[in-house]
Chains A and B, each alone.
Chain A
Amino acid sequence: MAMTLDAKIPDGPIGEKWTNYQFARKLVNPANRRKYDIIIVGTGLAGGAAAATLGEQGYNVKAFTFHDSPRRAHSIAAQGGINAAKNYKGDGDSVFRLFYDTVKGGDFRSREANVHRLAEESVRIIDQMTAQGVPFAREYGGLLDNRSFGGAQVSRTFYARGQTGQQLLLGVYQQLERQVGLGRVQLHNRSELVDVVVVDGQAAGIVVRDLLTGEITSHSAHAVVLATGGYSNAFFLSTNAMACNVTAAWRAHRKGAAFANPCYTQIHPTCIPQSDDFQSKLTLMSESLRNDGRIWAPTDPDETRSADQIPEDHRDYYLERRYPSFGNLAPRDIASRAAKVVVDEGRGVGPLKNGVYLDFADAIGRLGEDTITERYGNLFEMYERITDESPYQVPMRIYPAVHYTMGGLWVDYELMTTVPGLYAAGEANFSDHGANRLGASALMQGLADGYFVLPNTISNYLAPQLGTQPVPTGHAEFRAAEEAARERFDGYLAIGGTQSPDAFHMKLGRIMWDYCGMERTREGLEKALAEIPALHEEFRKDLRVTGNGRSVNQTLEKAGRVDDFFELAQVMCLDALTREESCGGHFRGEHQTNEGEAERDDDHFAHVAAWEWTGDPSAPTRHTEALEFDNVHLAVRSYK
């Protein structure tokens, strides 16, 4: 069956498409909604919000999370804030400006209609979350406060100290628990998706593994939503939580869902540099710090003085120098690459010379320590706990780290994947950020998808199915998927090799960081594409998983996730190799200007690349969806 990528973008001017769509879509009468079952996998911002809202509307929702509680989802770790085109500061913001900034920030590789819808809904998100009691930061007059984030020249970021993600997720979690208490959402915790089941070309349900007992069970529904996050952990070291993985999206991909733009990964500029080889993860320092911190490196590679002893004329405030109008608030991809240039020149700081300074001395002098504590106190404490250095006294040391993945399951305007009835929301889909995500936009997209988009679009698919029953879980396809899952997990235990899943994951991550990281080249990617299948083969022969499959076994869980990362890594490299241009988070060494800036090729690559599973992870089929820009003028992205 030939794969078609029909984005189903509604007609009309950009500002009216979403309104037109909402009127034209099919509705399900409130009394009929209880006749439908919906499965939602993942209970972070997108999944939790969708589950709560669909439960409120009257559908039967079954929600699944591999955590012990929905409150643990990785959305919780977002620090800095959430964008919304409220224009509460009166500094010229508007829905169109947020739309424009997001398309430009994404280096003109996202769908205009989706991004405009996101900007429209951003406004309602703040209203919704405030009504739920999220304690956003406020001015003394009692109104909501805003801060600035990268890639924007207006203040549109709402925040709750450095814990915005936590507060938003807890808001979502509370709405979800309310529905659980009311019996409208059935919550399955510590249950990990191990397969997606498709019957007669439509999503029929999922197969999950109970992480406490190892039991494999099937669940069916009229529609399935995956809100299972991103795949940054393909790099082993990233800012993602330890359990974040690609398995749900990858299993869907293997059942026919196209995987779009896998090479678009975001490297966040402000993370704490790696301190040693056994580090398990990298810790992000919020982008909001760039509001008041100044980034610099010594001019001299042989500099040995401590930061406070280095005079002004021996400091290179390289972002302010290279990008005077955006300065320290240049977008993430640009700030990250600039840091790499400095460190590659040997001007890095710290014991391993693998970082640059983020300096608050000026801000403390200007605003006083109290104001800085108020704004960033918890981040400063976190930094000190990890490094044993106080940012009040010495500049922070920072370096880029893998943080977010813009790629994901291909979805149309309705957030439906190429498998009818299978949806993807939040970071798990590819839709809104193009080749680079602006800061404070992930929370916005997760909540927009979960609260306002999916609950509006899903009825268009459900309405015609009135009166049908979900496929029984005794169906042969479910039986086969259960059997395959049992074999898979028994198989890991049976190999009896010598290396742990973590040992393989670490090696895979090294390959990905070296060849598919901040700068990619044809030569490096080809090397990675040779090394990854070889390492995967070694994994199949030499993996060691101790323990058994009948009780909690975190080593076994990890084995399944690493196995899927191996296959994903190949399509990430293939995508990076075939995209012969530099755009956003994807920087190809061969495609840069004389000044080292990214060089896009709009004639050949103004499209989404969506990969189709063929059964061979090294040879998927590439499809494209052309991107049309009617409202934003394609331009060289300049932040100078």
Chain B
Amino acid sequence: MNELNVTLKVWRQEGPDAPGRFDTISAPGVNDEMSFLEMLDLVNERLINEGQDAIAFDHDCREGICGTCSLMINGQAHGPQKGTATCQLHMRKFSNGDEIVIEPWRATAFPVIKDLMVDRSAFDRIVEAGGFITAETGGASDANLTPIPKPVADSAMDAAACIGCGACVAACPNSAAQLFTAAKVGHLNLMPQGQPERYRRVEAMVDTMEDFFGSCTNHGECEEACPKEISIDFIALMNKDYLASKFKNRRLTARS
């Protein structure tokens, strides 16, 4: 167990329309066994003791699964450790005397709410558009009726591991949401259950995504930043299905 003295440069912003600024806050006596968010808890406890407003930041499960936490840490989404969400990042990854710059996700589609909190509801809009398999309660057949090859189920699970945190968007120079969208498209379009809505789904989700987010130019920063290490191969799969949808959906329309 080691004690670290670090200096934080934290983005503070009163509200969505207020101007923001960096505050410099020194954080002495940080135990390196702490998680990054526990370090922020400690800083907030000290701010409250001094009569100041605590830093607002989103967080919840602190197990890397709910996707609530975010933060650009020294310019990296979720900080320096690969495949790790901010809540699972520990202070042992930092050194005594470090200056740590903490910012919210920066993207037009994710407006800042306060300090380090942003509004990610554009993701919900994409799911609403088609990120589901229509299977209303009650009508399901026996779960073993349709065998699914294990490699298919495993690939679908690789994509489904997405936690919807938004790191892919934050890391992308274009603020594109291709990896998030492709992860959901990939999960559902790979499964046999997802076939009936396959092309309708991909078209609706991609078109909704385009309403909010920038375009993908294959930088690959998203894969690098993803705490679940979701592969950009899924983007290729989505693009293939999207292209196909433009033919298939039109053909279906013509016949009806």
Q: Is residue A633 contacting chain B, with contact meaning CB distance below 8 A?
A: no
Chain B residues with CB under 8 A of A275: 33
Which residues of chain B (73-102) have a CB below 8 Å from chain A?
Answer: 81, 83-84, 88, 90, 92
B131 engages A177 (CB within 8 Å): yes
B65 engages A76 (CB within 8 Å): yes
Of A131, A165, A178, A243, most buried by chain B (CB within 10 Å of CB) is A131
Task: With both chains docked as a complex, state the minimum distance between the C-beta of B244 and any C-beta of chain A, in angstroms.
Answer: 20
Which residues of chain B (144-167) have a CB below 8 Å from chain A?
Answer: 144, 147-150, 153-154, 156-157, 160-161, 163-164
Q: Is residue B52 contacting chain A, with contact meaning CB distance below 8 A?
A: yes
Q: Is residue B254 contacting chain A, with contact meaning CB distance below 8 A?
A: no
Q: Is residue B113 contacting chain A, with contact meaning CB distance below 8 A?
A: yes
A69 engages B124 (CB within 8 Å): yes
Listed stretches A550-558, A572-580, A581-589; interface member: A550-558
Indicate which residue in A56, A68, A175, A280 contacts B41 across the interface (CB closer than 8 Å): A280
B49 engages A500 (CB within 8 Å): yes
A130 engages B140 (CB within 8 Å): yes
A174 engages B137 (CB within 8 Å): no
Chain A residue nearest to B64 in the complex (CB): A382
Indicate which residue in A88, A138, A141, A163 contacts B161 across the interface (CB closer than 8 Å): A163
Indicate which residue in B120, B149, B193 contacts A132 across the interface (CB closer than 8 Å): B193
B114 engages A161 (CB within 8 Å): no
Task: With both chains docked as a complex, state the minimum distance between the C-beta of B13 and any C-beta of chain A, in angstroms.
Answer: 11
Chain B residues with CB under 8 A of A623: none
Q: How far is the CA of A74 from the CA of B188 in the complex (A)?
A: 23
A136 engages B61 (CB within 8 Å): no
Q: How far is the CA of A503 from the CA of B45 in the complex (A)?
A: 8
A142 engages B148 (CB within 8 Å): yes
B67 engages A71 (CB within 8 Å): yes
A546 engages B48 (CB within 8 Å): yes
Chain A residues with CB under 8 A of B49: 498, 500, 544
Chain A residue nearest to B124 in the complex (CB): A69
Of A76, A77, A133, A189, most buried by chain B (CB within 10 Å of CB) is A133
Chain B residue nearest to A174 in the complex (CB): B132
A53 engages B62 (CB within 8 Å): no
Q: Which interface class (under 10, 10 to 19, 20 to 34, 35 or more) fits A?
A: 35 or more
Residues 68-112 of chain A: 1 if any B CB is under 8 Å from the residue's CB, otherwise 0?
Answer: 110111101100000000101000000000000000000000000
Residues 133-164 of chain A: 1 if any B CB is under 8 Å from the residue's CB, otherwise 0?
Answer: 10111111111100000000000000011010
A137 engages B153 (CB within 8 Å): yes
Task: With both chains docked as a complex, state the minimum distance between the C-beta of A608 and any C-beta of chain B, in angstroms.
Answer: 29
Q: Is residue A126 contacting chain B, with contact meaning CB distance below 8 A?
A: yes
Chain A residues with CB under 8 A of B42: 278
Chain A residues with CB under 8 A of B15: 551
Chain A residues with CB under 8 A of B154: 135
Q: How far is the CA of A498 from the CA of B139 in the complex (A)?
A: 57
Which residues of chain B (86-135) have a CB below 8 Å from chain A?
Answer: 88, 90, 92, 113-115, 117, 119-121, 123-124, 127-129, 131-135
Q: How far is the CA of A366 from the CA of B191 in the complex (A)?
A: 33
Residues 41-53 of chain B: 1 if any A CB is under 8 Å from the residue's CB, otherwise 0?
Answer: 1101101110111
Q: Is residue A406 contacting chain B, with contact meaning CB distance below 8 A?
A: no
A280 engages B62 (CB within 8 Å): yes
Number of residues from B at the complex interface, CB < 8 A: 81
Chain B residues with CB under 8 A of A68: 58, 68, 119-121
B62 engages A241 (CB within 8 Å): yes
B90 engages A131 (CB within 8 Å): no
Given A77-B63, A552-B117, CB of A500 within 8 Å of CB of B48: yes
Task: With both chains docked as a complex, state the minimum distance between the C-beta of A274 and any C-beta of chain B, in angstroms.
Answer: 10
Chain A residues with CB under 8 A of B81: 385
Q: How far is the CA of A241 from the CA of B69 in the complex (A)?
A: 12
Q: How far is the CA of A167 from the CA of B187 in the complex (A)?
A: 11
Chain B residue nearest to A498 in the complex (CB): B49
Chain A residues with CB under 8 A of B31: 276, 278
Task: With both chains docked as a complex, state the minimum distance between the C-beta of A453 and any C-beta of chain B, in angstroms.
Answer: 11
A127 engages B133 (CB within 8 Å): no
Task: With both chains docked as a complex, state the minimum distance between the C-beta of A47 and any C-beta of chain B, in angstroms.
Answer: 14
A74 engages B60 (CB within 8 Å): yes
Given A131-B193, A132-B132, A242-B59, CB of A451 within 8 Å of CB of B120: no
B38 engages A138 (CB within 8 Å): no
Given A135-B160, A143-B147, CB of A241 within 8 Å of CB of B60: yes
Task: With both chains docked as a complex, state the minimum distance between the C-beta of B208 and any C-beta of chain A, in angstroms.
Answer: 10
Chain A residue nearest to B162 in the complex (CB): A170
B137 engages A128 (CB within 8 Å): yes
Chain B residues with CB under 8 A of A293: none
B140 engages A128 (CB within 8 Å): yes
Q: Is residue A311 contacting chain B, with contact meaning CB distance below 8 A?
A: no
Q: How far is the CA of A537 from the CA of B56 in the complex (A)?
A: 28
A388 engages B92 (CB within 8 Å): yes
Chain A residues with CB under 8 A of B193: 130-133
Given A72-B67, A283-B63, CB of A126 within 8 Å of CB of B45: no
Chain A residues with CB under 8 A of B157: 135, 137, 160-161, 167
B150 engages A502 (CB within 8 Å): no
Of B90, B136, B191, most buried by chain A (CB within 10 Å of CB) is B136
Chain B residues with CB under 8 A of A127: 140-143
Chain B residues with CB under 8 A of A180: 124, 128
Indicate which residue in B47, B56, B59 contacts A552 across the interface (CB closer than 8 Å): B56
Q: Is residue B34 contacting chain A, with contact meaning CB distance below 8 A?
A: yes
B153 engages A130 (CB within 8 Å): no
Task: With both chains docked as a complex, state the minimum distance between the C-beta of A280 and any C-beta of chain B, in angstroms.
Answer: 5
Of A124, A167, A242, A455, most buried by chain B (CB within 10 Å of CB) is A242
Q: How far is the CA of A73 from the CA of B60 in the complex (A)?
A: 9
Residues 529-555 of chain A: 1 if any B CB is under 8 Å from the residue's CB, otherwise 0?
Answer: 000000000000000111100011111
Indicate which residue in B37, B128, B160, B194 contacts A177 across the interface (CB closer than 8 Å): B128
Task: With both chains docked as a complex, state the minimum distance between the C-beta of A120 and any C-beta of chain B, in angstroms.
Answer: 14
Chain B residues with CB under 8 A of A279: 38
Q: How far is the CA of A173 from the CA of B119 in the complex (A)?
A: 18
Of B37, B66, B147, most buried by chain A (CB within 10 Å of CB) is B66
Chain A residues with CB under 8 A of B61: 72, 74, 76-77, 241-242
Q: How far is the CA of A74 from the CA of B68 in the complex (A)?
A: 11
Task: With both chains docked as a complex, state the minimum distance between the C-beta of B118 and any C-beta of chain A, in angstroms.
Answer: 9
Q: How far is the CA of A141 from the CA of B44 in the complex (A)?
A: 53
Which residues of chain A (449-477) have a CB below 8 Å from chain B?
Answer: 451-452, 455
Chain A residues with CB under 8 A of B47: 546
Given A131-B141, A140-B150, A500-B45, CB of A74 within 8 Å of CB of B135: no
A69 engages B137 (CB within 8 Å): no
Q: Is residue B54 contacting chain A, with contact meaning CB distance below 8 A?
A: yes
Chain B residues with CB under 8 A of A160: 157, 160
Indicate which residue in B41, B88, B113 contacts A212 across the interface (CB closer than 8 Å): B113
Chain A residues with CB under 8 A of B156: 133, 135
B90 engages A386 (CB within 8 Å): yes
Given contacts A86-B143, A127-B140, 11 further A-B contacts (CB under 8 A): A68-B68, A128-B135, A135-B160, A138-B147, A161-B161, A174-B131, A181-B128, A241-B60, A278-B41, A386-B88, A555-B48
5 residue pairs bridging A and B, Cβ less than 8 Å apart: A132-B193, A133-B135, A137-B153, A178-B128, A555-B44
Question: Which 8 residue pairs across A and B have the least CB separation, nearest first?
Answer: A142-B147, A174-B132, A181-B128, A131-B140, A127-B140, A131-B135, A130-B143, A135-B157
